[in-house]
Amino acid sequence: MPVEYNQQACTWTLSGGNASYVLHRDPENRLLHLYWGPRLPGNALSWQPEDYCSFASFDLPVSILPFEVPVCGSGWHGTPAVGIRNSCGDDVTDLRVLSWEVSPGKPALPGLPSTYAEEEKEAETLSFLLEDSLTGLRVTARFTVFAESGAVARSLFLENHGSAPLTVTSLLSASVPFWRGDFDILHLNGAWARERRIVRTPACQGEFRIQSARGASGHEENPFLALCDRNADEFSGSVWGISLVYSGSFTASCRVDNFGHARLSAGLNPDVFSWQLDPGESLSSPEAVLVYSAEGLNGLSQQYHRLYRTRLARGFWRDRPRPVLINNWEGTYFDFTEDRLVAIAEKAAEIGIELFVLDDGWFGKRNADNCSLGDWVVNRDKLPGGLSSLSGKLHALGLQFGLWFEPEMVSPDSDLYRAHPDWCLHVDGRPRTEARQQLILDLSRPEVQDYIIASVSGILSSSGVDYVKWDMNRNMTEAFSSVLPPERKKETQHRYMLGLYRVLESITSAFPQILFESCSGGGGRFDPGMLYYMPQTWISDDTDAVERLKLQYGTSVVYPASSMGAHVSAVPNHQTGRITCLKMRGDVALSGNFGFELDLTKFTPEELAEAGKLVSRVKQLRNLTREGTFWRLLSPFEGNAASWSFVSPDRREVLLCAYQVLSVPNTAPLRIRLRGLDPNLWYQAEDGRRFLGAALLCQGITVPLRGDFSSCVLLLKAE
């Protein structure tokens, strides 16, 4: 059983895979955390108060208790997981366990994205009902443990059973104490076109915090943190990860107290959140997914990959090979006609591409990024026959038709804005801050949600659309809904996310066979929340092959290759000006959901032939790259080369990918030790070399990399 209750010790041990998570109810009915780490039997631990406060100290004993749901005001001095201001104006809260239950499987989080179990035996859920008797606040703390991996999905559900309104001032999905603090903290930071760089820094007394207040998870930080043993690396050592299934403003932190105890937390960003909970009302936190690995960072990533690929992503496309696509954005930008698009599509069809994606600029009078967002009506100057004529021509060529939208936005120069100037996020009497000459629709409002659902659905049902790219190109300002009363204004950002999730659920479930890809100025909303609705995300607006090494490597810390949009674009690259060969660009992009993002009519016949071979290769490899176990082997953050591999579930195939940025004279060939193979099998490489698995694991394989921007993608198969 994944959840074992030890009545004598009053502990609950949640176990799966190689991990356990242990909780305790103390004699005073407080819910305490005992342990999270390598798997333990259910009778291994009991509460030893003297481990925490056996000494005379200035500190209150309660301030060092390992609360599972820390609250404010009765001695605990960190950030509360549930911060409550009551009707008397104080924040004191005292949660005690009323009851608990274990149920098979995993309940959904209504209105919020979350991981799921397909069969009850995959997971078990332990729920504690806690109460603050003075105010009537009830908190259900849920812990679902997945049997296969030991991943623990956590969330909190708040209900006001009292008679006076409460204000929720902070809401963390998880806040996990550790009995030590000598960790490194790992996070994924960045900026537009430089998303998800791996950064590692030692934890020390005080608080290390990452956050977004932008109304989107953002380019700057990903909603993920890991604590690593100081000697943990990609392949060994203990690592604890927390990943927040949410796409809006978030906080994540590691706080080390004055006793050297760390606490790892993630949830809604209290700087831009508060929520009035009237009597009878309820509120759910987003979900946080906790993963422990004893096998270093690769072990952590592989667990997240499997869970997010198979039990977060949903729907028709979850387990299917994704079509090879061509997107016209970097090929034409706004400057296209139907004839120009069809000319590109003809070349695409010739070389086996399967999906043509029409990006920004097909609607309203949009010829630049200064107008028409919100007017989802085809631009007849560019597409005289409308979308159905274009989609008909593409379908006749054997191509699927994909279409770009940016539904959450409105341009001040649009019919929508002229009709509904109050529908955007704004504060009366203040300027409406524009970014990319656009404003954000107030998705906390049901009528705005309904407009988006109706306008997008209308096009999807009438235009033969097979794929949607859902973009979002700015962050929030004046994020206080004009229709909320003053005491609820700070609910706007979270209400926006709930509104967005309602819109996404409604549209994606109405069009189950359409493949949806999310995007936000590249990878500005690459998070588990979006992956629940859309199984893939455009990872960055930086399409340069060398930069993509870091982008794909960093993104892979949490997210599976099947979630990454990866395209070959033209050279000189539009973001960096760098010229790399087509082989390198293709060899990098084939590790994700592969596509082109250029004007194929500009290719020479030789380049077109090479692109055609690349497409065939992608089709040959795409099941392996989607389902295979991904191993990071050599970090582009640490040197001039990078390498990763995909190992098939039966370990009989491995795709080794290796890249060199700049050529260095007079050096030994790069040798790479493979991982995850069967030591007893013989593997035959495409280039004719043969190796025993044990040799590949222990001694490695040399890869032929020569010249600047060179690459080697080598398939090895068991004999």
Judged on CB neighbours under 10 Å (0-12, 13-18, 19+), 216 is buried
The residue among 480 and 526 lying less far from ligand DGJ, judged by its C-beta, is: 526
- Which listed range, 58-66, 95-103, 155-163, 516-524, lies at the site for ligand DGJ (CB under 6 A)? 516-524
User: Which residues does 565 contact at the CB level (< 8 Å), separation at least 6?
Assistant: 517, 519, 536, 537, 538, 539, 592, 593, 595
Instruction: Say how many residues touch ligand DGJ, by CB under 6 A.
Output: 11
1 token code pair: 């059983």
151 token code pair: 């991943």
CB 15 within 8 A of CB 157: no
The residue among 303 and 372 lying less far from ligand DGJ, judged by its C-beta, is: 372
The residue among 329 and 646 lying less far from ligand DGJ, judged by its C-beta, is: 329
The residue among 437 and 463 lying less far from ligand DGJ, judged by its C-beta, is: 437
Give me the amino acid identity at 503.
Answer: V
Q: Judged by CB under 6 A, which of 338, 359, 375, 587 binds ligand DGJ?
A: 359
CB 555 within 8 A of CB 540: no
Residues between 82 and 141 that touch ligand DGJ (CB under 6 A):
none
Cα–Cα distance for residue pair 555/426, rounded to 1 Å: 34
Cα–Cα distance for residue pair 257/76, rounded to 1 Å: 11
Q: Residue 119 Cβ, how far from ligand DGJ at the closest point, in Å?
A: 37
The residue among 517 and 627 lying less far from ligand DGJ, judged by its C-beta, is: 517
CB 611 within 8 A of CB 582: yes
Residues between 327 and 356 that touch ligand DGJ (CB under 6 A):
329
Q: Does 471 bind ligand DGJ (CB under 6 A)?
A: yes
The residue among 370 and 640 lying less far from ligand DGJ, judged by its C-beta, is: 370
- Which listed range, 153-161, 308-316, 478-486, 514-522, lies at the site for ligand DGJ (CB under 6 A)? 514-522
Q: Residue 495 Cβ, how far from ligand DGJ at the closest point, in Å?
A: 25
Residues in the chain: 719
Cα–Cα distance for residue pair 689/534, rounded to 1 Å: 40
Report the half-sphere exposure of 254 (CA within 13 A, side-chain side). Answer: 27
Q: Residue 525 Cβ, how far from ligand DGJ at the closest point, in Å?
A: 10
Q: Does 555 bind ligand DGJ (CB under 6 A)?
A: no
Q: Judged by CB under 6 A, which of 215, 223, 299, 521 binds ligand DGJ?
A: 521
Q: Judged by CB under 6 A, which of 234, 360, 587, 678 binds ligand DGJ?
A: 360
Is 471 an active-site residue?
A: yes
The residue among 146 and 516 lying less far from ligand DGJ, judged by its C-beta, is: 516
- Which listed range, 5-13, 86-94, 519-527, 667-675, lies at the site for ligand DGJ (CB under 6 A)? 519-527
Q: Which residue is nearest to ligand DGJ (CB)?
A: 360
Q: Which residue has the tokens 């559900």?
A: 157
CB 151 within 8 A of CB 167: no
215: how many CB neighbours lie within 10 A of its CB? 28
- Which listed range, 172-180, 249-257, 274-282, 515-523, lies at the site for ligand DGJ (CB under 6 A)? 515-523
Binding-residue pattern over the window 522 to 541 for ligand DGJ, x denoting contact by CB under 6 A: x---------------x--x
Q: Residue 465 Cβ, how far from ligand DGJ at the closest point, in Å?
A: 16
DSSP for 492-554, written as a single string: HHHHHHHHHHHHHHHHHHHSTTSEEEE-BTTBTT-SHHHHHH-SEEE--S---HHHHHHHHHH
List beta partners, residue 439.
410
The residue among 148 and 369 lying less far from ligand DGJ, judged by its C-beta, is: 369
Q: Residue 604 Cβ, how far from ligand DGJ at the closest point, in Å?
A: 26
Q: Are strands 325-327 and 355-358 parallel, antiparallel or unpaired?
A: parallel
Q: Does 13 bind ligand DGJ (CB under 6 A)?
A: no
Which candidate in 184, 257, 466, 541 is catalytic? 541
Q: Residue 340 Cβ, how far from ligand DGJ at the closest point, in Å?
A: 17
Residue 144: name the closest of 40, 16, 250 by CA.
16
User: Which residues does 396 contact at the CB level (< 8 Å), separation at least 6?
Assistant: none
Q: Residue 521 Cβ, how far from ligand DGJ at the closest point, in Å?
A: 5
Q: Judged by CB under 6 A, which of 473, 552, 710, 711 binds ligand DGJ?
A: 473
The residue among 471 and 491 lying less far from ligand DGJ, judged by its C-beta, is: 471
118 token code pair: 């397909």
The residue among 234 and 330 lying less far from ligand DGJ, judged by its C-beta, is: 330
Which candidate in 132, 466, 471, 678 is catalytic? 471
User: Which residues does 667 contact at the CB level (< 8 Å), separation at least 6?
Assistant: none
Q: Does 519 bind ligand DGJ (CB under 6 A)?
A: yes
Is 319 an active-site residue?
A: no
- Which listed range, 50-58, 199-207, 315-323, 518-526, lies at the site for ligand DGJ (CB under 6 A)? 518-526
User: How would you label 287-316 residue by residue, b for 16+ Cβ within 10 Å and e otherwise?
Assistant: bbbbbbbbbbbbbbbbbbbbbbbbbbbbbe
E strand residue ranges, 41-151:
82-85, 96-104, 123-132, 137-146
Q: Does 273 bind ligand DGJ (CB under 6 A)?
A: no
Q: Judged by CB under 6 A, which of 146, 250, 317, 404 binds ligand DGJ?
A: 404
Catalytic residues: 471, 541
Residues near ligand DGJ (CB under 6 A) are: 329, 359-360, 404, 471, 473, 519, 521-522, 538, 541
